[in-house]
Amino acid sequence: MSTILTEAEAKALLKKVLSYSKADECEANLSGDERGNIRYARNEVSTSGSLINQNLQVQSAFGKKVGIATIDEFDEASLEKVVRRSEELARLAPENPEYVGLLGPQTYLKANGYFESTASITPAKRAEAVGKSLEMCRGISQAKLTAAGFEEDYKGYSAMMNSKGLFAYYPSTNINFSLTVRTEDGKGSGYVIRGYSDFAKFDPAASTRIAIQKCIGSVGAKALEPGKYTVILEPTAVAVLLERVFFDMDARSADEGRSFMSKPGGKTKLGEKIVDERVTIYSDPTHPELPASPWSGDGQPQGKVNWIEKGVVKNLSYSRYWAQKQGKKPLPGPNNVIMNGGTMSLEDMIKSTQRGILVTKLWYIRDVDPQTLLLTGLTRDGTFYIENGKIKHPIKNFRFNESPVIMLNNLDALGKPERVVSTESNQNYLLPPMKIREFTFSSLSDAV
């Protein structure tokens, strides 16, 4: 049998698994994937690899006593063994007061995240894409350049079935590509990162050109005084700041008083305007540019959900346990995140800027204070001074201390959203470039 099961094959296998169950409730999660990668550094391919994985996880429950076991072999004896093992573990487990039982059958939206173009990538195709990129970096006449990059692709599926009749299946593909180009003397550095569900959309030459241009353009950086500046954040920089907001949309921690969504007296900011009214952030598994699984890990349907609408917190995610306890409707956390933008291109945004800083990428983002979401990190791989609508010259990198919540209140303009990859979490998002007033840079860095 192949690693990537069809919906019918997955259904048949899961039915067989559940037929062995003697527990009060049983849920089985099945997955299979194939991954490949190629890495290069110092203008040469350094490593390449591939990984095939399949896994079956069975959860059995007797009352509120729950046990989980997994196995990666799918012959009949193994299937029965993993069910028995989960039942043994359940009998031994302490009661889990937060176990709320299984969901019945659900209806899911149709999301198309599986692309044959990506599924059929071979080592040769990978090498060809990377070869093109390497050739371009080696062949630049203005400067001696050194390229280091990484391409990784994924095809796989996940499926689940439970003893109450729920069945879900979702196949998907993805490819992420990143490239750092540096001048041989270490005075310039440029970066690009791209993520796609559909390999056909990946243009290694166009991506490589961006990193080369950023690299050459960043040579000869001048120091600017740290302070508050108008910044244009490219989507790659936006992603690592905004995802801290996405990660903290959980109602429980807000209700408990330990999130930036908490308010004095055990209240939360649900229903309040917390950022500029042009900010609308939502999730939608059917979005063609960023398809995602239409069901959550526990089988709940994922629909289109507005998390922040016109600056107002519209929804917080409730686990089924927390929803029951608080008398609310459960709402799973998002499987993808999309932010509305405008129609301006990055070039238009630069043209409309009197004095400001263009930020290509932000690096080593860490929480400084979870109650304000104050973050720190640094600019890198292409930071430029803008004057009178034009990029004037490269500038030395800065450390920043800024909260995405404050930042989204100092919003000047939003550009056209595009698909980006977080350099911190590897997640793909659909986010616009943005112009922000009074972004706080606190010190200079000598790093290139």
Which residues in 41-73 are b (16+ Cβ under 10 Å) and which e? eebeeeeeeeeeebebbbbbbbebbbbbbebee
Q: Rounded CA gap, 154 and 175, in Å?
A: 6
CB of 314 to another protein, least distance (A): 18
Stretch that binds another protein, among 1-9, 230-238, 338-346, 358-366 (CB under 8 A): 358-366
Contact positions with another protein (CB under 8 A) in 428-447: 442-447
Are 18 and 26 in contact by the 8 Å Cβ rule? The answer is: yes
216 lies in the site for another protein, by CB under 8 A: no
Candidates 41, 119, 140, 270: give the one binding another protein (CB under 8 A): 41
Candidates 146, 162, 236, 383: give the one binding another protein (CB under 8 A): 146
Candidates 318, 415, 423, 441: give the one binding another protein (CB under 8 A): 423
What does DSSP assign to residue 344? B
Rg (CA), the chain: 24
Candidates 104, 265, 271, 327: give the one binding another protein (CB under 8 A): 265
Per-residue contact string for residues 306-345; x = within reach of another protein by CB under 8 A: -------------x-x-----------xxxx---------
Q: Rounded CA gap, 81 and 74, in Å?
A: 10
208 lies in the site for another protein, by CB under 8 A: no
CB of 270 to another protein, least distance (A): 14
Q: Rounded CA gap, 109 and 145, in Å?
A: 47
Candidates 101, 165, 266, 288: give the one binding another protein (CB under 8 A): 266
Per-residue contact string for residues 72-101; x = within reach of another protein by CB under 8 A: x------------x--xx---xx-xxxx--
62 lies in the site for another protein, by CB under 8 A: no
Coil, strand or helix: which one is 285? coil
Candidates 12, 15, 44, 112: give the one binding another protein (CB under 8 A): 44
Long-range CB pairs of 64-71, under 8 A, 24+ apart, other chains included = 64/95, 64/96, 64/97, 64/99, 65/90, 65/91, 65/93, 65/94, 65/95, 65/96, 66/90, 66/93, 66/96, 66/99, 67/91, 67/92, 67/93
Per-residue contact string for residues 359-398; x = within reach of another protein by CB under 8 A: ----xxxxxxxxxxxx-xxx-x----------------x-
190 lies in the site for another protein, by CB under 8 A: no
Q: Rounded CA gap, 121 and 123, in Å?
A: 7
Residue 53 or 345 having the CB closest to another protein: 53
Candidates 22, 222, 258, 355: give the one binding another protein (CB under 8 A): 258
| Binding residue count for another protein, defined by CB under 8 A | 93
Residue 88 or 387 having the CB closest to another protein: 88
Q: Rounded CA gap, 271 and 312, in Å?
A: 6
221 lies in the site for another protein, by CB under 8 A: no
In 124-237, DSSP assigns E strands to 145-162, 167-183, 189-196, 227-233
350 lies in the site for another protein, by CB under 8 A: no
What does DSSP assign to residue 182? E
227 lies in the site for another protein, by CB under 8 A: no
CB of 180 to another protein, least distance (A): 4
Q: Rounded CA gap, 415 and 235, in Å?
A: 9
Encoded tokens for 108: 């899911």
